[in-house]
Structure 1
Amino acid sequence: MDSIVIYGGSFDPIHNGHIRTALASSRYFDAKVIFVPAKNPRFKVLDSTPSQRLDMLKLAIKDLDPSIFMISLFEMDSYDEINYSIDTVRYFKNKFKQANLYFLIGADEANSFSKWKEAESIASIVKIVYVPRPGVKVDEENIKKYNMACLPFTKTGEVSSSGVRKLENIDIPLSVRKYIEENGLYYINELKKLESQHRLSHSISVANLSYRIAVSNKLKNPNDYYVSGLLHDLGKDLEVNNAKLIMQNNYPKYISYPFWTYHQFIGEFLAKKIFNIDNNEILEAIKFHATGNKNMTTMGKVIYSSDKIEPSRGYDSSDLINSCLSNCQDGFIKVLKANQEYLEKKGYIVDNDLTNDCYKQYLGE
């Protein structure tokens, strides 16, 4: 007898926690997994269209075994104003009359299950399986009343769809991340309000190169490098008077620095204020990405390098990119030297202590 796991959700967007859960449930129940994206889920205001969420779901599972992991459009094709789970499980019970059906829900959903439409009928048709979640204590009364089972899997990762939308975490398939970038969804839509299209394209390119360098060098938390690269130029397109006001109120130490340096400090300020970034390593990398500084972190070096050499800069930076991919520490020195030589060739004079300190420490000058 076949076993089937019904995995419903808004998937706005789908993330790697969803994928890990699907893989774990398939192994545990020796079952096929059918993703059922909701067209009109209750109690949720969605930030993408049904077709966009479906596109991302297809991208996320395209490399999984299609004979085991598949998508049902039952709810997507529904004309109902709201999708109710009772209708979904009845549909699958009628379609797979002899199969063992498991209905996957989260721990928080297990606690509110008694409020679902025809909850007892759902539990009589399928086996309710909840996925434990750190920090969420399940309602034992609900577990017993609806005869729920627990999927013994706790390695979903600290990721949520709401967190992805707000750039709090970015643990998503790379294909989904690219789709978000290309379609201007979630955090990219927020960046559109702050940056010109040219600036945004540059920021996305820096983010992806920073991520590649982090992965190639086996650095911890490569997604943090992506976030830092994506937000590094937040302050670049800010109106002059607003920029000066932020500097006066938050960075008086650097108010005498040349105006071109302001955007890196303002970028740090806006990353905290708008995107609630509290990771000091990300913030420091943004704060000194244009000038450099002494005692730079590895992330700081990677963001500095990526900003200078990302492919859309308009010159052949392939050798410098390959150097950073091979060894980000050595690559940073080469990028720093190349930038110094470029400035000298153009007749620019280094006009701030941060860059002079950076050159002195890393180039011995």
Structure 2
Amino acid sequence: MNDTEVDYQNNYIRLNRKELINIMNESMSSSRYQHVLRVEQTALKLADKYDIDKEKVSIAALAHDYAKERPDAEMRDLIISENLELDMLQFGNNIWHGPLGAMLMKNEFELEDEEVLEAIKVHTIGGPMMGRIAQVIYIADYIEPKRSQKGVEKARELADLDLEKAVTYITGQTLKYLVKNKKKIYPKAVETYNTWVAKN
């Protein structure tokens, strides 16, 4: 994949792309960092195809896993101290790292754009009213080139045709996986499913 570099010009964040990349590189393992770069490039291809703000997409993609590798104890403390939804405490890092990542990016780097913050916040569980930036990150995280889960090829095909159809398919696949593997399902993931998949 040829790298696309976006020149940050709109002051969504007080960092340029290189500075943001360096922060992510220092904040996570090498394998997680490489995943983040692949998600950004995948998301930028979708942004180009669907005429979506590439700068916002780049920031959201690079920052989407900012909190992913924080220690659980630190994340629990932040959920409590920042008055986030306490029902998250019944779940794990997969649920926590999106909302916490959005909060940390806002607090530490003055990221104020609501579309970008939403995309970081909901990239794992989606949301009933996802905007287009959020849809792109949700999809790109699922279909980036190293992903090999069941259904990913179909998701890639749909992403190339219609963002909303891809979101619907990915949401259905995710819920199927959780049910099949008897995993606890976060209520907001059910809301996403009810809005995007169960339309009858």
What band does the TM-score fall into relative to the shorter chain?
0.7 to 0.9
Task: Choose the corresponding residue for 2:82, options 242, 250, 256.
Answer: 250
Report the AA paired with residue 165 of structure 2: D
Tell which has more relative contact order, 1 or 2 (C-alpha 8 A, sep 6+).
2
Q: What residue in structure 1 maps to residue 180 of structure 2?
A: 345
Identity of aligned residues (%): 20
Structure 1 unaligned residues grouped into runs of 5+: 1-13, 17-156, 171-184
For 2:198, the aligned partner's letter is: G
- 2: distance between equivalents of 1:197 and 1:248? 29
1:212–1:325 contact (8 Å) kept in structure 2: no
- Greater than 4 Å deviation, 4+ residue runs: none
Change (3 A) 1:265 1:15: closer
Q: Which runs of 5+ in 2 are unaligned?
A: none
2:173 is equivalent to residue 324 of structure 1 = no
Give the stretch that moved more between structures: 292-301 or 250-259.
Answer: 250-259
Task: Tell me the alpha carbon deviations over residues 89-141 of structure 1, each in whole angstroms, 9 at most, x when there is no partner.
Answer: xxxxxxxxxxxxxxxxxxxxxxxxxxxxxxxxxxxxxxxxxxxxxxxxxxxxx
Paired AA for residue 236 in structure 1: K
- Could you say what secondary structure the match of 1:326 adopts? coil
Cα deviation digits, residues 166-223 of structure 1 (max 9, x gap): 23xx5xxxxxxxxxxxxxx53222112211111111111111111111111122x122
Question: Equivalent residue for 1:203?
Answer: 36
Matches of 1:15 and 1:200 in 2, distance apart?
A: 18
Note the C-alpha offset of 1:165.
8.7
More helix by share: 2
Q: How does 1:1-365 map to 2 (within 5 A)?
A: 158=9, 166-167=15-16, 185-219=18-52, 221-254=53-86, 255-260=88-93, 261-315=95-149, 317-350=152-185, 352-364=186-198
**Partner Cα separation in structure 1 for residue 28 and residue 138 of structure 2:** 19
Max Rg structure: 1
What is the number of residues matched between the two proteins?
A: 192
Partner Cα distance (1:323, 1:289) in 2: 18
Deviations 1:271-315 (A, max 9, x none): 113332111110011111111222121222221121122121234
Aligned CA RMSD, in angstroms, stands at 2.7
Higher strand share: 1
TM-score, structure 2 normalization: 0.84
